[in-house]
Amino acid sequence: MAFILRRPFAIASALKQAPTASSTTIRAFHHTPLKSAPSNFFTSRTTAASTFAQSRNVFRNTFRRTYMQGTPTVQTGNFKQRLLYGAGIFGGAILATNLIFNRETREDGGMPIFERAYLNETFLHTGLGIGIIGVAASALHRSGWSYRLMATNPWLVAGLGLVGSIGSMYGCMAIHPDNYIPKYALWTAFNLTQAALLSPLFFMQPALLARAGLYTVGMMGSIAFVGATAKQEKYLYLGGPLLAGVAIVALSGLAPLVLPATATRTLMWTENLWLYGGLAVFGGFTLYDIQKILHHARLSERGLLPRDPVKESISLELDFINIFIRLVQILGMQQRRK
């Protein structure tokens, strides 16, 4: 009864289809030769019973077809609730992070203009670098580079990737910012190297990559806000502990190459350490890098350090890439469990 109340037009559609089957039977009966017509009472009862059973099947199939093939409707209420829940969780996370890590704010009346300008230039180069990586990785994936990269020896890929990434990175950092052409050339080479190594990520679903990118921007944006508004040089002491943490995370990432496949529990622990420990470490690096950029802005204002936003952007790009990769893997694992 509840189904009929939810589907008021199902009965009407069933009644429209039921006479079709019965009329077919009657029409066949009228066109049947006289000698093959039903000759006794039992034969007519059998024909009537089969007609009723056929009509009942049509009626039943109508309900089944209406239920199974109904057009899926988007429940706007649930979608709005999810949006509100997501916004509430994101805002609560920013508020909690601000209350925990940003209880001591700046005492110099806010961020000076030169610090804001230096930070904005660094963010601009970071966004451009990430854009270059995304566009180049997509183009390489469409050209078949990802398949060839996956078929190559992993040790060769790791060795060439480290040489290309570290070489171009330190070369770009070492060049004076007044030498625009070689500096930006090495900066572009660094981004293209990262794109070549990250192109296999495009085997994942685009929606999952978009979610991971959105979460990465939200996470780094909230941490950058805390680092920019916190007390000067408050989190610069994190450099040493974060280096120790990233060493542990790197060793846990290399564990599957050393440990046997039978050590399931140990591999599970190392994977969790690489994923969630890496998120914590590189989130801390984001906080540290933001305060380091502001510290370098003050030094460059005094003439003690050259103004180099390209060099500063490389650190934030590495933070973004490491957080993004881990979020992609975490979201992929959750999707496979469903």
In the numeric block, the tokens 């790009």 are attached to 317
Q: Of 8-12, 51-55, 109-113, 305-309, give the lowest mean pLDDT range.
A: 8-12
Do residue 55 and residue 128 come from a single domain? no
Under the banding of pLDDT at 50, 70 and 90, the label for residue 335 is confident
Do residue 114 and residue 17 come from a single domain? no
Q: What is the pLDDT of residues 180-194, one digit of tens each?
A: 899 999 999 999 999
Q: What is the pLDDT of residues 305-324, one digit of tens each?
A: 999 999 999 999 999 999 99
Do residue 100 and residue 61 come from a single domain? no
Answer whether residue 69 shows pLDDT above 70.
no
Question: In the predicted model, what is the mean pLDDT of residues 157-183?
Answer: 91
Do residue 154 and residue 227 come from a single domain? yes
Answer whether residue 263 shows pLDDT above 80.
no
Under the banding of pLDDT at 50, 70 and 90, the label for residue 149 is confident
Domain assignment present for 76: no
Handedness of CA 299, 305, 306, 312 (dihedral sign): negative
Do residue 120 and residue 33 come from a single domain? no
Domain assignment present for 206: yes
Q: By residue range, what is the domain housing residue 225?
A: 92-337
Predicted pLDDT at 31: 42
DSSP state of 143: T
Answer whether residue 65 shows pLDDT above 50.
no
Calculate the average pLDDT of the chain: 76
The half-sphere exposure of 97 on its side-chain side, counting CA atoms within 13 A, is: 22
User: Looking at the whole model, is its pTM more than 0.95?
Assistant: no
Task: Dig out the tokens for 204 from the structure.
Answer: 């994942």
Domain assignment present for 80: no
- Amino acid (1-letter code) at residue 32: T
End-to-end Cα distance, the chain? 33
Answer whether residue 121 shows pLDDT above 90.
yes
Predicted pLDDT at 334: 83
Write out 276-316 in H/E/C secondary structure: HHHHHHHHHHHHHHHHHHHHHHHHHHCCCCCCCHHHHHHHH
Do residue 96 and residue 232 come from a single domain? yes
Q: How far is CA 56 from the centre of its chain?
A: 50
Q: What is the dihedral of CA 42, 43, 45, 50, to 10 degrees?
A: 140
DSSP state of 142: H
What is the total count of domains within the chain?
A: 2
Do residue 165 and residue 18 come from a single domain? no
Answer whether residue 30 shows pLDDT above 80.
no
The b-or-e profile of 78-109 (16+ CB within 10 A means b, else e) is: eeeeeeeeeeeeeeeebeebbeeebeeebeee
- Where does a domain end: 28, 48, 65? 65
State the Cα–Cα distance between residues 79 and 301, nearest whole angstrom: 49
CA-to-CA dists, residue 31 to 21, 27, 37, 41, 127, angstroms: 16, 6, 10, 20, 79
Q: What is the pLDDT of residues 203-227, one digit of tens each?
A: 988 899 999 999 999 899 889 888 8
Do residue 164 and residue 249 come from a single domain? yes
Do residue 32 and residue 147 come from a single domain? no
Domain assignment present for 305: yes
Do residue 177 and residue 47 come from a single domain? no
CB 327 within 8 A of CB 276: no
Do residue 255 and residue 329 come from a single domain? yes
Under the banding of pLDDT at 50, 70 and 90, the label for residue 29 is very low
Q: DSSP of 70-90, one letter per residue?
A: PPPPP-HHHHHHHHHHHHHHH
Domain assignment present for 14: yes
Question: In the predicted model, what is the mean pLDDT of residues 139-147?
Answer: 90
Residues 6+ apart with CB under 8 A from 232: 106, 107, 108, 291, 294, 295
Helix, strand or coil, per DSSP, at residue 38: coil
Domain assignment present for 83: no
Q: What is the pLDDT of residues 99-119, one digit of tens each?
A: 555 555 656 566 788 989 999
CA-to-CA dists, residue 185 to 7, 160, 179, 181, 192, angstroms: 66, 19, 10, 6, 11
Domain assignment present for 164: yes
Domain assignment present for 85: no
State the Cα–Cα distance between residues 267 and 273, nearest whole angstrom: 10
Answer whether residue 122 shows pLDDT above 80.
yes
Do residue 56 and residue 99 come from a single domain? no
